[in-house]
Structure 1
Amino acid sequence: MKIIATNIGERKEVDWKGKTVVTGIFKYPVTDPIFLDTEEVKNDAICNRKYHGGVDQAVYAYSLDHYAYWQEAYPDLEWSHGMFGENLTVVGLDEAVLHVGNQYRVGETVLEVTKPREPCMKLGVRFNNMRIVKHFWKENFPGVYFKVLQTGQVKAGDVFECLKSCPENETIVDVYARKRNKK
């Protein structure tokens, strides 16, 4: 796995069907390294700490490998890395082989796999189409949240080096399927 883009978002107010939605999901690539702290990515907006940020959701990564599928399904959007609200766009990230508890050194950091992302209505706001929320639930492409065990900077080009593998634990796809079935 390798970081293709690091993405940061600002707090944004969006008029959605007559209501103001405050969100940080509009993330875009940055050229400077980003700092991964224990509960958040520095300088990245988190507008609802009940569902974003915190120790187990400090960093969100999404696979570049899934982009082609979504671009075909939603061809009229202006696509860029960070489209799914991810801090890290990663090539080679496969939720079917990432186990909860796996640990990786990437850049100056050490990251631990914690859980999949569960889509919310703000993904629909980002895509300007609420259909994406149900569609996202149906596919096994949730992306992954990481806990930051060692803080530091990461940048595009940094490679994930596996420090600890936990094959006895569920994969991210397993966890996601269980959550989807409870929905």
Structure 2
Amino acid sequence: MSLHLLSLNTARVQALATPQGEVRSGIAKRGRDGAAAVGTLGLEGDEQADLTVHGGPAKAIYAYASEHYAFWQTVRAQAGVSEWGQVLPWGSLGENLTLSGLLENEVWIGDRLVFPDCELIVSEPRYPCFKFNAVMGFNQAAKLMTQSAWCGFYLAVARAGTLSTGQPFELLAGPREVGIVELFKARTRRAT
């Protein structure tokens, strides 16, 4: 299967209503046209509110598999927060890169995603929090992500450059010692 960047998504920090009250967040990503410059701290035009858990050199960019979107559309409809058949726009899970052809169980820490003008290194899984519940519209979203391990993964920037929607990329294997799903499940088991 070919690997492609389906959507390049960014957001500025803004207010997000949660059951815990209003918080600042950059989770409301939306697709953007054209190319975006990629630097050590991520994509131009993108912001993170809480740098203790998002952003920085090791978590500069967040990638998520497009293949999981049908599941999230269905469970949101089942939870009564969207209409049946309502399509979630790319970026709705807070990802910067909506990818096609690459699932979490095929990704390991240290793997490289090589784009025509940029190279990224897989650094760790994404762990959901109450902000994910808020943006998805129901309180069980983080639990469902934890159960499925459809968490996506963070990327560090190995070679700065540019990214554009529609670009193909190549996955180069790293040391293949720790997988994304393995690390995600180990950490979420300890947290529960």
- Name the CA distance, whole Å, in 2 between partners of 1:158 and 1:22: 31
1:167, distance to aligned residue in structure 2 (A): 5.3
Partner of 1:50: 52
Structure 2: unaligned runs, 5 residues or longer: none
Give 3-state SS (helix, strand or coil) of 1:180's partner.
Answer: helix
Instruction: Give unmatched runs, 5+ long, in structure 1.
Output: none
**2:182 — aligned with what?**
174
CA 1:155–1:181 in 2, change beyond 3 Å: closer, same or farther?
same
Q: What does the per-residue CA deviation read over 1:114-139, in whole Å, with 9 as the maximum and x for residues that have no partner?
A: 11100011111111212111111111
4+ residue runs of structure 1 moved beyond 6 angstroms? none
Where 1:89 maps in the other structure, the secondary structure is: strand
Shift of 1:50: 0.7
How far off is 1:45 after superposition?
1.7
Counterpart CA distance in 1 for 2:149 and 2:108 is: 14
Give the equivalent residue in structure 1 for 2:155: 146
CA distance in structure 1 between the partners assigned to 2:187 and 2:17 by the alignment: 30
Partners of 2:11 and 2:21 in 1: CA distance: 21
Aligned length: 182
Change (3 A) 1:18 1:140: closer
Q: What's the counterpart of residue 101 of structure 2?
A: 92
Provide the residue aligned with 2:122 in structure 1. Answer: 113
Segment drifting more, 143-152 vs 68-77: 68-77
Partners of 1:19 and 1:168 in 2: how far apart?
Answer: 41
Deviates more, 1:153-162 or 1:20-29: 153-162
Deviation of 1:84 after TM superposition, in Å, equals 0.7
CA contact (8 A) 1:36 1:59 kept: no
Q: Alignment identity in percent?
A: 26
1:42-63 C-alpha deviation (Å, 9 max, x unpaired)? 2112111111111110000000
Cα contact 2:76–2:138 (8 A) shared by 1? no
Letter aligned with residue 190 of structure 2: K
Structure 1 residues 67-105: Cα deviation after superposition (integer angstroms, max 9, x where no partner) = 111111112436100011000000112111111111121
Aligned residue identity for 1:138: Q
- Once the two structures are TM-superposed, the CA of residue 142 in structure 1 deviates from its matched residue by 0.6
Equivalent AA in structure 1 for residue 114 of structure 2: R
Aligned: 1:16 with 2:18? yes
Cα distance in 2 between the residues matched to 1:72 and 1:107: 35
TM-score relative to the length of structure 2: 0.89
Distance 2:69 2:183 in 1: 21
Instruction: Report the TM-score when normalising by structure 1.
Output: 0.93
Distance (Å, rounded) in 1 between the aligned partners of 2:52 and 2:59: 10
